[in-house]
Amino acid sequence: MTTYLSTAFSLQMLPEEDGEVTIKVRRVTAEEARELLSRGFVSVVGHELTAAIASSILGMNVAVNRAAIKLGRGDVLVVFQLLYGRLNQTRELTKQEVDEIINKGLYAFFMVTIKS
């Protein structure tokens, strides 16, 4: 079983096999996400600013890693989503903007699992 941290979920992440799969998605708190990730995880967060904000919220290092993944049965995908609008790669967020995202809870975590 592998745990991943990403900023999105895509149907392309599903296993390449015939038959049905059931996708279970549950919103989790930052504390629950931290617990899931504390056992070790692979980051597939591709945006530096988003990784920095996730690191701050979770209290752990979130590496920048632009990689495609395939989920297997038993894998867990923790999805971190900013509810702040789209971040601009060419501009650094100010400390005030980062604090606003964190203090106002302008983010959400979801746990995605694949069932047979």
pLDDT digits (tens, 9 = 90+) for 4-13: 999 999 999 9
Q: Does residue 34 contact residue 107 with C-beta atoms inside 8 Å? A: no
Confidence of residue 88 (pLDDT cuts 50, 70, 90): low
Structure tokens at 20: 């049905």
Q: Is the pLDDT at 79 greater than 70, yes or no? A: yes
Structure tokens at 39: 């056992």
Domain residues for the domain of 57 are: 3-115
Q: Give the residue ranges of DSSP H helices in 17-93.
A: 30-37, 48-58
Spatial distance between the Cα atoms of 107 and 116, rounded to a whole number of angstroms: 30
Confidence of residue 90 (pLDDT cuts 50, 70, 90): low
Q: Is the pLDDT at 101 greater than 80, yes or no? A: yes
Q: Does residue 77 contact residue 1 with C-beta atoms inside 8 Å? A: no
Could you tell me the pTM of the whole model?
0.88
Q: For the chain, what is the domain count?
A: 1
In this prediction, residue 86 carries a pLDDT of 62
State the CATH number of the domain containing residue 64.
3.40.50.11170
